[in-house]
Structure 1
Amino acid sequence: MNSWGPEPLADGTTRFRLWAPDVEAVTIEIGTTEQDAPSPFVLSLSKHVPSPETEDVEAPFDKLGANGGSAALASTENGWWHITLPVGAGTRYRFRIGDTPVPDPASHRQWGGVHGWSIVPDHAYHWRTEDWRGRPWHEMVIMELHAGTLGGFSGVTARLPAIAALGVTAFELMPINAFGGDRGWGYDGVLPYAVHEAYGSPDELRALIDAAHELGLSVFLDVVYNHFGPDGNYLGLYADRFFHRDVATPWGGAVAVDEPPIARFFIDNALMWLRDYRFDGLRFDAVHAIDNSVFLDTMASEIRDALPDRHTHLVLENEANDAARLRPDAYDAQWNDDFHNVLHVLLTGETNAYYGDFADRPAERLARCLSEGFIYQGDPSPNHDGKPRGTPSAHLPPTRFVSFLQNHDQIGNRALGERLTRLTDPAKLRAATALLLLSPQIPLLFMGEEDGSETPFLFFTDFHDDLADAVREGRRREFAKFPAFADEKARETIPDPNDLATFDRSRPLPGADAESWRALYRDLLAIRRDRIVPHLGDVRAIGAQATGDASVVARWRLGNGACLGIAIDLSDTPTLHAIQGEPIYTDGARFAAWLGS
């Protein structure tokens, strides 16, 4: 099967491939490494059916003159184009479709942004942690980071000692592949293989991961395989079959992962991040928008087969709450939005939009979440037009679920990007934090939580002209249905995503009580590490129930036979359920955790 992208060969040449089933001719242009200019030749690649003995045709420089030249292109079935050229790592190149220059869709590095030149990669790197094999899944305590707001890869590297000292065991980078402009969340990426230039070089990324492994930190990457962004996406020009135009998603036609070349594009991308950069795991964004379980299972199987000797962890975001994907041979876990949503209702009283699904009997819903994983397990969802959402999950161990109080979506998709420190009582937030960190589910934090940060995390982009206007106005229209922004003047207070100040305001700064919050996180994570994590290998829920309108008691049987119990009360006048064992942490009348028989 054909693979995507440039392949430097042992003899110093490079094999280039492109899937362009919609065109009759492709041109490859080679640029210099010193300036933005093509070298004195242009290869015109016309359709050619190769003999059975060859797949690529070399085009040596000595056959190309100052006025340009041509070389035969090996064109196989199903729209693939191939050529091997006497150029090596660091060479700039791009394809030309008609009059339009386009980057390699599998470019590993860009020069000049997503509309600029692609660069032949050099994956040679001297790893200091060559023997690192990762950490088992049950040890994970993950912190989500945005590389751009932290100063790029070097800025993240500088923060690693503090993250490790807190007791966090892993961090997850929001998408770092190339997208339009310098700043953005990364979910509007268009070149999934290329490291975003504004964050640093590929070797700076490797140095970040190397430093993390030296500190015992696992590293995850958020990848987006369900859509492409609007700026720099040229696929429709030469491979319209990349999308099912008749299958609507919020971003346009669905990505056609049932096409073998397209499935290969994404599976090879996942393997690149894990092999060439030594990430320990991937988080797959919004796979419900892919809606293809065969592709998801095939991708997981190939990754497992390719990396049998490492702890490699695969995590889904899946609004469909599909428990069938959470098998030991497939995906380790799923982000559990249900946990966040019900706790947000209990902490803030907000019931707008999707929080309406959790407004009724929230304590009972939290009890189900702690005991069974998903709250919606085939139940009708008002936010989904009353349609059933989810499948039964009570048979799954708690470690199949990633729980969180905040993440980039749940903060940044608010109109003003407020964190929970601005939305709820500190005592309630402390209790919810204890629940998050001492429950058997895998906890995920968002950068700044550990410092009690009150700075917003806003939606920001770096688009220009008409696209910038469309994004700004579209965001304001999105919030028009909320009472607080029904008035046009109120909507004008929503920060412009393209304003540099919006990005700068999103840098996480410590709150006034930062040290108190850090001490809380250190204490809770030490308890988790010493008393809970060693016994999570065979944990199972043994029941949870609401004890009031905002209070819950839950219990789990740990692998050593002990019972972990937790009681939480988020009411305005809390009264804790009686502790039934050895207390391991208490916080006034709001929270208690204990170990019993």
Structure 2
Amino acid sequence: MTLWGPMRLEDGRWRFRLWAPDRDAVTLERDGAADIAMARDADGWHAVETLALAGDRYRFRVHPDLAVPDPASRAQSGGVHGWSVLVDPAAPTCDWRGRPWAETVIYELHVGLCGGFSGVAALLPELAAIGVTAIELMPINAFSGTRNWGYDGVLPFAPAEAYGTPDDLRALIDAAHAQGLMIFLDVVYNHFGPDGNYLGAYASAFFHPERHTPWGGAVAVDRAQVAAYFRENALMWLMDYGFDGLRFDAVHAIDNDDFLDALARDIRAATGPDRHIHLMLENERNDPDRLSPDRYDAQWNDDFHNVMHVLLTGERDAYYEDFADRPADKLARCLAEGFIYQGDASPHQGGKARGRPSGHLPPTAFIAFLQNHDQVGNRALGERLIRLATPERLKAATALLLLMPQIPLLFMGEETGAQSPFLFFTDFHDELADAVREGRRREFAGFAAFASEEARAHIPDPNASGTFDASRVAAGNAAAEWRDFYRGLLALRRDRIVPGLPGCRPTGARSLSDAAVLASWRMGSGEALTILLNLGEIAVKTPQAGKPLFLLGEAGGPASFAAWLA
């Protein structure tokens, strides 16, 4: 039985439920109708059944001075402090079954910056044409205000009003499937945003106040009611809307492997074997045990990004410190074994060990990227790599990303050579706005370029509307050239790399200089894939591997890439 959220019954009746163990009495309030007292059971659930219509607005009175939205609201009217809206449940009607994981090329985007759900739908034909096979939406659930970077949501079941209606979201998903595109959603189960989360006012047991996280008390996923909340949320996106997969944000902050394993197991059981459902993790712990066909398909491989960023830019501040020493050796390990940190001491974390061995996993258990929302948006000025590295070196790195066997992820705008920034933006007000602005500036005190207070004062105010507007993707001057570059590489990946990914295994990788790496794989097809990347200024020796599959620059020369498949 579904525990959270409204449920339509027979004869025009709806059941309303709220877990409010801290309250003895809760009243259902409906716009334009009489209030109804709800019955409380021994576990703290308050429930009532009554006649209602889809589109009706409702909320819960948990205190004489406090009425709150449904924490499992399927839609909101008037923002996260306003009324919840009854939405008729609907299941996808098309017979789309998804695509195999090996075919995945992910394009991550921010719905708000693209013009809402309808704006994203307009982009789909162009993305499909260059060879993208999946789009991944940054979090879309309701947040405070009308613009947000994505990770301050407080009502996980309700699509943000600023992006469109639930029907608009369903239309986007149908449009993606019509283009042959999978569509994934980034979900946040490790915390709630700072404005509009009322759970603590009536269900303090939803959190563990004694367990500190950057966002307050840890979410109590070990409690059955809380675990059900997130399980039902995940299944809603997959079953009611038709998403093809979920990316789970920062699961290291959840800190509960039993919950993660049970969540994956329940999702697999509910969605069944006939659909390709893909589950992805972000996990700083580099934990290989979560990655298996019956649990999670893959993990975002931050190690790949971080070492490539060091090689491309020379930056060594903050977490890049962990990748500054012998970066070519570290990249070789990443290509051969997946994670770079596999129990090794992290200098940035004071020598703390991170990760465990991952060399037994297939390359497709890792999602690689040169840029994403974190790695661009968490920069003080939101610069993309195209502003930090030469085009030749960036193209060589992109060729590696798109032709190696790990699953590639692109960040919106890469394919057009966009130079517009992607900044951190919110829509908070008053004291919270001040706290976020100043906290953002303090965050960069450890970077040499922002060590002074004067320098930090130039970091854009997250709450200014101009910060959001500046983050809209603007194609670069060489957009057509970049599109052709991506289209050509992705066609090669589709035709020559993807067929050999099932059963693919690395056969070795080594550094040839302080900025060059040679790596090889035995593909499931029996062919041998060899890749040589040189991001340095000195040529390295080229292997005798036959006719190249793809060549950028002179093989082994400065700022070059070569791939052979034989």
Q: TM-score range by the shorter chain?
A: over 0.9
8 Å contact from structure 2 (residues 92, 240) kept in 1? no
- The number of residues matched between the two structures is 559
| Cross-structure match for 2:67 | 101
| Cross-structure match for 2:417 | 452
Structure 1 residue 579, shift from structure 2 partner: 4.4
| Cross-structure match for 2:100 | 136
Structure 1 residue 2, shift from structure 2 partner: 5.7
Q: Determine whether 1:498 maps to 2:493.
A: no
| Cross-structure match for 1:268 | 232
| Cross-structure match for 1:423 | 388
Structure 1 residue 103, shift from structure 2 partner: 0.2
8 Å contact from structure 1 (residues 579, 592) kept in 2? no
Q: Determine whether 1:332 maps to 2:325.
A: no
Structure 1 residue 126, shift from structure 2 partner: 7.1
8 Å contact from structure 2 (residues 317, 448) kept in 1? no
Instruction: Identify the match of residue 317 of structure 1 among 282, 291, 312.
Output: 282
8 Å contact from structure 1 (residues 13, 86) kept in 2? yes
| Residues 282-334 of structure 1: CA deviation (Å, up to 9, x unaligned) | 00000000010000000000000011120000000000000000011000000
8 Å contact from structure 2 (residues 218, 254) kept in 1? yes
| Cross-structure match for 1:191 | 155
Q: Determine whether 1:43 maps to 2:36.
A: yes
Give the partner amino acid of 2:35: V
Distance 1:396 1:486 in 2: 41
Normalising by the residue count of structure 2, what TM-score does the alignment of the two structures yield? 0.98
Distance 1:2 1:515 in 2: 49
Distance 1:205 1:365 in 2: 41
Give the partner amino acid of 1:166: I
Distance 1:475 1:310 in 2: 42
Q: Determine whether 1:595 maps to 2:565.
A: yes
| Residues 453-479 of structure 1: CA deviation (Å, up to 9, x unaligned) | 100000000000110010001101111
Q: Determine whether 1:5 maps to 2:20.
A: no
Q: Equivalent residue of 2:43, what SS?
A: helix
Shift of the 126–396 alpha-carbon distance from structure 1 to 2, 3 Å rule, reads closer
Distance 2:523 2:389 in 1: 32
Distance 1:90 1:79 in 2: 27
| Cross-structure match for 1:20 | 20
| Cross-structure match for 2:242 | 278
Give the partner amino acid of 2:449: A
Q: Equivalent residue of 1:164, what SS?
A: helix
Give the partner amino acid of 2:565: L
Distance 1:458 1:576 in 2: 41
Equivalent positions of 1:85-124 (< 5 A) are: 85-98=50-63, 99-124=65-90
Instruction: Identify the match of residue 528 of structure 1 among 478, 493, 516.
Output: 493
Q: CA RMSD in A?
A: 1.0
Equivalent positions of 1:290-369 (< 5 A) are: 290-308=254-272, 309-369=274-334
Instruction: Identify the match of residue 174 of structure 1 among 126, 129, 138.
Output: 138
Distance 2:145 2:546 in 1: 56
Distance 2:28 2:539 in 1: 69
Give the partner amino acid of 2:165: S
Q: Determine whether 1:257 maps to 2:221.
A: yes
Structure 1 residue 490, shift from structure 2 partner: 1.1
8 Å contact from structure 1 (residues 8, 88) kept in 2? no
Shift of the 272–579 alpha-carbon distance from structure 1 to 2, 3 Å rule, reads farther
Distance 2:42 2:123 in 1: 49
Structure 1 residue 200, shift from structure 2 partner: 0.4
Equivalent positions of 1:476-495 (< 5 A) are: 476-495=441-460
| Cross-structure match for 1:55 | none
Indicate the structure (1 or 2) with the bigger Cα radius of gyration. 1
Structure 2 unaligned segments of length 5 or more: list them.
Answer: none
Distance 1:342 1:579 in 2: 27
Q: Determine whether 1:462 maps to 2:455.
A: no
Shift of the 580–225 alpha-carbon distance from structure 1 to 2, 3 Å rule, reads same
Ranges of 4+ aligned residues in structure 1 off by more than 4 Å: none
Structure 1 residue 40, shift from structure 2 partner: 4.3
Q: Determine whether 1:379 maps to 2:344.
A: yes
Distance 1:6 1:500 in 2: 35
Distance 1:372 1:206 in 2: 39
Q: Determine whether 1:200 maps to 2:164.
A: yes
Q: Equivalent residue of 1:548, what SS?
A: coil
Distance 1:221 1:579 in 2: 43
Distance 2:318 2:207 in 1: 30
Instruction: Identify the match of residue 231 of structure 1 among 176, 191, 195.
Output: 195
| Residues 60-105 of structure 1: CA deviation (Å, up to 9, x unaligned) | xxxxxxxxxxxxx1x2232111111111211110001112010000
Give the partner amino acid of 1:302: D
Q: Determine whether 1:244 maps to 2:237.
A: no
8 Å contact from structure 1 (residues 189, 229) kept in 2? yes
| Residues 167-217 of structure 1: CA deviation (Å, up to 9, x unaligned) | 000010000000101001121100000000000011111101101000100
Structure 1 residue 582, shift from structure 2 partner: 3.2
Further displaced range: 82-91 or 452-461: 82-91
Shift of the 23–562 alpha-carbon distance from structure 1 to 2, 3 Å rule, reads same
Identical amino acids, percent of aligned pairs: 65
Equivalent positions of 1:214-225 (< 5 A) are: 214-225=178-189
Structure 1 unaligned segments of length 5 or more: list them.
Answer: 32-38, 46-72
